[in-house]
Amino acid sequence: MTKAPRATFAIGFFLALLAHCNKDQAKESASRAAEDVAELVDLVGKDLGEVERGLPEGAKRLAPLVANGADPKQDVAGVRRALLHMRREVADLNVAKSTFFALADSSGMAIRNDLEEDVMAGQNLFPIFPELARSTAGYIATTGAFPNATTKNGPDKDWVAAVPVKRENGTAGALLVTGWTYRYFARHLQESLKDRLVERIKRGTSEKLPVFYVGVFDKSGVYCAPLTPQVDEQALAAQDMPSKTQQPGNGAYMGTLNITDRAFGFAAQRTPMLAPDTGVVVLRSEL
């Protein structure tokens, strides 16, 4: 008669012990994610610096396209060639994480980008990214979403920057525009984090490569790298990270999650240099 209660007690004790271990593991993962996200915030600043330094230099290289009253619309193929040469010749832009470089006229109408297939040509960028209208006077970076900016993982957003390509009299003859999507940028950050973790393991540490995902967040949601399970992205979106990271100088906000019976820790930190209310989040689970 006493065997059943003893068995029940043993099972209950085991489950409680397991839950405690999972909680401790999740806290450890959150602590390590905080270290990871701090490194990625520094990387965001480096990536943005490459664009902010390189774009004005790139615009100088494109000045012949608008010199002596020239109209770039009359030589669209030449515009693409000039964009390709410009990126190779400007060191910061050659390593920048931009997915495109494009030339638009001073009213914001896209003329041509450097991609083989150009879906931007003929689009007016100012209604999509109103802040870009100020780029006729100097460097401007802003966020928005190109039409139909949806991926297999869901909606996406775009970060874009622009500078004027000046005529001889100093006025803007055109605009040099560049940018990337949030999900693409999250993938870049995730791959960079993986390289760092693998390097640590190669140096002989006892660590194993964890399960981890990286996302960019703002008030509109969380945008994780491609191939991130939707259930993980949804769990992060439910944490309301923009509200919990309102003080960018206070370091990372940390938390724990149980997703599909796996213990995760996460850390999120603001990146005001990218855009207001944006940040980076790392979701991590130790093996």
Q: Is the pLDDT of residue 19 over 90?
A: no
User: Which helix (H) or strand (E) element contains residue 124?
Assistant: none
pLDDT digits (tens, 9 = 90+) for 272-284: 999 999 999 999 9
Cβ proximity of 234 and 215 under 8 Å: no
Q: Does domain 25-45+184-285 have CATH number 3.30.450?
A: yes
Q: Which two tokens stand for residue 155?
A: 């909606």
Q: Return the SS3 of 256.
A: strand
pLDDT of residue 265: 97
Burial pattern 141-173, b for ≥16 Cβ within 10 A else e, equals bbbbbbeeeeeebeebbbbbbbbbbbbeeeebb
* pLDDT class of 10 with cuts at 50, 70, 90: very low
Q: Is the pLDDT of residue 1 over 80?
A: no
Q: Is the pLDDT of residue 23 over 70?
A: no
* pLDDT class of 200 with cuts at 50, 70, 90: confident
Least Cα distance to 91 among 61, 62, 52, 50 occurs for 50
Tell whether the torsion through CA atoms of 95, 99, 100 and 106 is positive or negative.
negative
Q: At what angle do helices 76-89 and 3-61 cross, to 10 degrees?
A: 110
pLDDT digits (tens, 9 = 90+) for 71-100: 999 999 999 999 999 999 999 999 999 999
pLDDT of residue 14: 37
- Tokens 């039409």 — which residue? 147
Q: pLDDT exceeding 90 applies to what percent of the chain? A: 82
Q: Is the pLDDT of residue 249 over 70?
A: no
Distance CA(190)–CA(120), nearest Å, equals 27
Least Cα distance to 286 among 198, 208, 232, 227 occurs for 208
What length is written for the chain? 287
Higher pLDDT, 15 or 244: 244
pLDDT digits (tens, 9 = 90+) for 116-150: 999 999 999 999 999 999 999 999 999 999 987 67
Cβ proximity of 86 and 103 under 8 Å: no
Which range scores top for mean pLDDT: 2-16, 114-128, 145-159? 114-128
* pLDDT class of 6 with cuts at 50, 70, 90: low
Residue type, 184: Y
Tell whether the torsion through CA atoms of 202, 205, 209 and 215 is positive or negative.
negative
Q: Which CATH architecture has domain 51-181?
A: 2-Layer Sandwich (3.30)
Cβ proximity of 172 and 166 under 8 Å: yes
Least Cα distance to 77 among 46, 45, 103 occurs for 103
Distance CA(196)–CA(181), nearest Å, equals 23
pLDDT of residue 208: 87
Distance CA(253)–CA(269), nearest Å, equals 6
User: Is-above-0.85 flag for pTM?
Assistant: yes
